[in-house]
Chain A
Amino acid sequence: MSDSLNIADIRKRLNAQNGKAYWRSLDELADTEEFRSFLEQEFPRQAAPLEGSFQRRDFLKLLGASLALAGLTACARPVPAGEKIVPYVRQPEQIIPGRPLFFASAMNHGGYGEGVLVESHQGRPTKVEGNPDHPASLGATGVAAQASVLTLYDPERSQAVISDGSDRTWEEFSEALSSALAETDNGSGLRLLTENVTSPTLARQIERLLEQYPEAVWHQYDASRSDQLLEGTRLAFGEPLMPAFDFANTGVVVSLDADFTNDYPGRLRYARAFADRRRVHEADSDPGRFYAFESSPTPTGSISDHRIPLGPGQIGDLIAVLAARLGVEAPERELPSAVSEPLFEALLEDLQGAGDRALLVPGQYLPAQVQALVHAINDTLGAGGNTVRFLQPAGTAPTPGGQSLAQLTEAMNAGNVSVLAMLGVNPVYSAPVALGFGEALARVPFSVHLGIYADETAEIATWHVPEAHFLETWSDTRAFDGTATITQPLISTFYGGRSHHELLAALAGDAEPTSYELVRSYWSDQVEGAFEEFWRQAVYGGVIAGSASPVATPTVQAFEVELPEPSQELTVSFRPDPTIGDGRWANNGWLQELPKPFTKLTWDNAALVSPATAEELGVNNGDVVTLTADDRSVEAPIWVLPGQARGTVTVHLGYGRGRAGRIGSGIGFDANALRPADGAWTAPVSVEKTGGRYKLVSTQPHHNLNGTGEERHIIRAGTVAEFRDEPEHPHFVHPVAHHESNLYPDYVYDSYAWGMVIDMNVCTGCNACVVACQSENNVPIVGKDQVAVGREMHWLRIDNYHAGDIDDPEYFHQPMLCQHCEQAPCEPVCPVGATVHDNEGLNTMVYNRCVGTRYCSNNCPYKVRRYNFLQYAELSNTATELSLASNPDVTVRSRGVMEKCSFCVQRIAKARIDAETEDRRIADGEVVTACQAACPTRAIVFGDLNDSSAAVSRLKLSPLNYQLLAELNTKPRNTYLARVKNPHPQLVSEEAGAH
């Protein structure tokens, strides 16, 4: 015991924790030096995190050392002394130990809700699936939703109200807040900063707050999305509207830097619809034609028929030329040199031919004027109202976001802000550095930051309040099309977070209402008639019927278009990172280790340049350069990306964070330092080599299919025309004759025969399946150093290949998982029989039996086996809260053991139990693998091959179906559908055909 204990301080700490705090001594609670040194002597491994310098992976394992953590209230509600608890006499309805329950909710992405179903094991959310009934999900999810459970349990989440660097209580905060508010006159000096507000309850709360404090001002900022989309429609139609595309009805689609299947309001829905439109299984399928003009390769563009790398400025020029040719008033421009004359003519011919079945999709990061021009072209073609409709925006906005933040900064600098509330935003990091938000914030006498992490903004704000994760609190949200969802908590607040609603209520001076009451009270005002029934339905289904935004029928009005003069200067474009967004997921290990589409980089961002630009600059992968735009500059490592537009440098936001947590801090570079203060998505830039080198880690160093890659026939691809010529046996699907032979009779699978088909035509490489697999199967992360030596653990990876011209390649995505070969090469080589075949055709791993010779991996031609070279998974004695995200149905693997895709055998087992209870066979569609469930385009189909009517069996009959490396006689149960492109006939000679 030390004599330097501060009892008052300890009391405060305990109060600040939600639930019962477990502690061992008062020294521990006081977190004194003595206790730390004691801890170090007693538990050197556990004390290690206190010392600061160790690897990220170790962090995951060791964080259990922070011993005075909040009690896990939801998992084990402590029973107060002297009170009796009684076990169930009758089992409550629906609660069956070992069977998860699913709850509907929604998660915001880019400011709009996407419906989810959350799997909960005895009160512990472990897995997020899409909500099939939700119009913005249709059962699919993006990567962030899949990874969100990891953030929920992240032990580095903020866990206490903080002011002046010390822990406070919520009560102290609300007192301080009310006294600060009392000093404002009608709210003058009160400012509110939020992201896009799509929560109707929150919108009403804000509205009421603004009524209560008429002088208060509301600002919005969201670095993960572009407000230019609504600006574009405002310019074109006079009012901000949300475009909604109908791909089912399209003949020709042109993407203008629009990643509409992956990074767009409504992306999951579009991905589904677009894939359905593009699917080719039979020779008579008509996939339509898809042109993509984009500055940096996107998942959407990668499945196009014609993909043209084009800088953001040149895309504006192209649109102007196109507009002019189609009779829309536009500034005069030359056709960009990267767009060949024949291609442009073909495009024009296709667009005119398609008429109202044509669709041009404007990229959300394009300037509003250019987007307006695109809307005008759509309108002229007749597409407006047909393939694209316009909806009233789902969000509630004060003024356009970027400017709004600028206004706030200005006001703060002028000393006009006395109370600032920042809800779920981190502008100190995510705003352009040039704006100087951080310095301005320091001048605000009372500022409160509500955030999941005690991040950069929390550091400067006078108060920080931990935010409740979306799985912890009641709220509501609207999808891009306005459909509302009531989001329900799956677990009580894990680290004592507060919701936006609660903070806003505190601002309004309400007496501690809960989020539940606030949300209910909003909806009870909206509903006429039986509210309880409505509520039950709404919460249960995750969708409020009939809440979609009304369709507007706007007319194009005259607007001025001023395009920047074409220049030869290098341009930098800024984008949210494809995995960690604008940095909000920076501390999520799953997302950090998720290989970025195309580059396959992990744990870093880079300055992406095309091979031609790299040559001009004399740089190569890993060369550090200084990017300079005006007086702003940042040092960044180069990554050469085939297909990147020449003269365009793409940098991703979200890295270079200072206070993201141990996972996300100090990696990559902060692209915000380069962004113009107005938040523009592009800027002219100059690049200078520093001579330094930086180690970038990519999971796939070889992409190019030219040469030996072509001879290997890994990717089979042809054109619709070729397919029509040979509808039964297209030559490109089976370039090499292969005759199966076996000395022994084949095994007869007479019960089930599980199989999978992956449609490479619609796989965009969006990565949702990879994280879904990671979450479902407790796949550990290994850290950058381990990825660098080739030890990543993903059971499912997306192989990415390039073919053709290095500056303008074709892309192919091939999700690669255990192929479950009927004659699996891994099986006969295992000396202990740890990998064996079951009678349903699954190649199974017996972890307990594995001694770790790794011969199976050597002999696996697909290299899908993953090995625990070190103790990657958390051990029970060092486990942190992160282990609560584990799926209890899947074994956690120990060091020295081989692992791999199991075709989600736990899901098969579950379906089998259901079927056997009802004495029937497992029906088609009853077993859905995690990857299949997450896939927005439904590129993955799984089922029983013994059931000839099953979707998977029908797909296996497609002439496009092929086995990878069939010549090895492995007889894989997973097969691929060859890629079929539909290029314009006149351009076929230009583009490469089969591979």
Chain B
Amino acid sequence: MTVRKGSRPPFRETNRVIGRGQSYGTVDDVVDAPVLTEPRATPAWWFVGMLLALAFLGMYLGTIVYLITTGIGIFGNNIPVAWGFPIINFVWWIGIGHAGTLISAALLLFRQPWRTSINRFAEAMTIFAVVCAGLYPILHLGRPWVFYWLLPYPNTMGLWPQFRSPLDWDLFAISTYASVSILFWYVGLIPDLATLRDRARNKGLKLLYAVLCLGWNNSTKAWQRYMRAYLLLAAISFPLVLSVHSTIAMDFAFSQVPGWNNTIMPPYFVAGAVFAGFAMVLILAIPLRKAFGLEKLITMRHLDNSAKLMLATGLIVVYGYVIELFIAWYSGAEFERFMAYNRVFGADHWWAFWLLILCNFVAIQPLWLLRVRQSPIALFIISVIVSIGMWLERFVIISITLTKDFLLSSWHDYQATVFDWSLYLGSFGLFATLFFLFIRVLPSIATTEMKELVHHDAHHGSDYFEKIRAKETGLEVDG
């Protein structure tokens, strides 16, 4: 069944976790419609977007070819700034991925029903972000073709990786994160794929979804086991929310570079990751709900909650900045003090620090206001600013820190090259390509879970809770 544009009913924004008047059927109709649309009927914006994404992907791949044939000297890295854009982008993308796991696993375990409508594409976003992120550490290697030497595999040389190195922990952290995220995502998809199988009219498509849904038969037993497995996976992935970015923070905290060796790094990085992740969720959700008419499923409630989480984690991040500066002073170590001074007032890059304060501290303050949280456009703009701010944070922490360490003689500035930028912007192409494919071929909202909500709404009167919430927040539950 397809939803025609003209037939869309007049719409009012809602603050419920699910709009009123939804039935199982309407959920499926709304969510599956874009997926089951005939190829020729695909909206034009999808093609435009996909083409743009492919153009950037082409730039990305071109840069990689040049990189591998020429060497990482095409980037701006030098001695002392041995890590530049690739590592900044790596940390940035990994951070973005974080919201996915948080939403899908942590909020599931904490029984936050509002997560259901955004978890699917947040998980997809996580996976794609991890793909983008995971390629960077390999590409930034001097000899990327031997990256597998970081893996503990039996070999004739009898060599193992050096397990003391945080870079090796990184490898495990990221690969674990990627595999668990993919598994969790896929398991969550199974009942939805079965729905698609049942609804698809095209024979080939039907077969594809039939294979992908692993013969889902909708029996009670299947549901019972499925729900248990899903919960278990959620429990397994929950620690990853904390561990992945902590491990990445360890890359820095483990070193003795002034400005890096802070014990606050792991929690501060995790907070930053969730902060950036929710920003990205909003960046994706706001256009998506509009484009596919999902406003009744991804409601203002979701945007509002995401914005609140952004505000909370953003403030933790700002606390991190303050503590970093305080500890630098409190340590009494000249190197640390100078590093703090240099980040904030250094002649070359002071702007980066103040810009990041502007983006990550000043720009999120409007989120205290209900009106701002209720405005998709404002949220979208703030989220974009936060994404830029979090990128700048990594730029300051990674590259600017390295420009001036212990010996004055080896201080050297860092300038990114055109290839640094093309590999960064190109990775958006990779992300966007994957995301456009995703929204076209897979349901971007978990219909199964939405149906649970519908059921709950219809039979257990969730209005009761909604009313309590309305009292607390002063929000009109239903617009």
Contacts and interface: CB of A to CB of B under 8 A. Distances in A.
Contacts of B78: 789-791, 869
B257 A859 contact: yes
A972 to B, nearest CB: 12
Contacts of A703: 408-409
A193 B361 CA distance: 76
Given A829-B167, A895-B142, A857 B80 contact: yes
Contacts of B251: 855
In which size bucket is the chain B interface? Answer: 35 or more
Nearest to B70: A870
Contacts of A867: 79, 82, 142
Contacts of A862: 406-407, 410
A789 B76 contact: yes
Nearest to A852: B142
Interface in B225-277: 251, 254-257
B80 A863 contact: yes
Interface stretch (B19-27, B43-51, B143-151, B423-431): B143-151
A704 B167 CA distance: 35
Interface in B163-214: 164-168, 171
Interface residues on A, range: 35 or more
B411 A702 contact: yes
A527 interface: no
A25 interface: no
Given A789-B415, A862-B406, A851 B142 contact: yes
A843 to B, nearest CB: 14
Nearest to B411: A702
A863 B79 contact: yes
A617 to B, nearest CB: 23
B338 A708 contact: yes
Contact of B408 (A801, A849, A850, A870): A801
Pick the most buried of A712, A825, A833, A851: most chain B CB atoms within 10 A of its CB: A851
Contact of B159 (A801, A833, A895): A833
Interface string A177-197: 000000000000000000000
A866 B167 contact: no
B334 interface: yes
B264 to A, nearest CB: 19
Given A799-B407, A855-B167, A870-B73, A831 B161 contact: yes
A897 B71 CA distance: 10
Contacts of B338: 708, 711
A598 to B, nearest CB: 13
Contacts of B83: 854-855, 858
B2 interface: no
Nearest to B412: A790
A968 B150 contact: no
A832 interface: yes
Interface string A878-905: 0000000000000000011110000000
B282 interface: no
A857 B84 CA distance: 13
Given A853-B141, A870-B73, A829 B79 contact: no
A857 B140 CA distance: 14
Nearest to A854: B82
Given A709-B408, A831-B168, A854 B256 contact: no
Contact of B143 (A801, A850, A865, A870): A850
A161 B116 CA distance: 86
Contacts of A830: 162, 165, 167
Interface in B119-160: 137, 140-143, 146-147, 149-150, 159-160
Given A801-B408, A852-B72, A829 B142 contact: no
B405 interface: yes
A405 B33 CA distance: 94
B150 A871 contact: no
B251 to A, nearest CB: 8
Given A853-B167, A865-B79, 18 more contacts: A700-B410, A702-B408, A709-B408, A712-B335, A712-B408, A790-B79, A791-B78, A801-B408, A831-B168, A850-B143, A851-B141, A851-B147, A855-B255, A862-B406, A866-B79, A869-B73, A896-B143, A898-B142
Interface of B: 70-73, 76-83, 137, 140-143, 146-147, 149-150, 159-162, 164-168, 171, 251, 254-257, 334-335, 338, 402, 405-413, 415
Nearest first, the 10 closest Cβ-Cβ pairs linking A and B are A852-B142, A896-B142, A790-B78, A869-B73, A863-B410, A854-B82, A870-B73, A799-B409, A790-B412, A831-B167
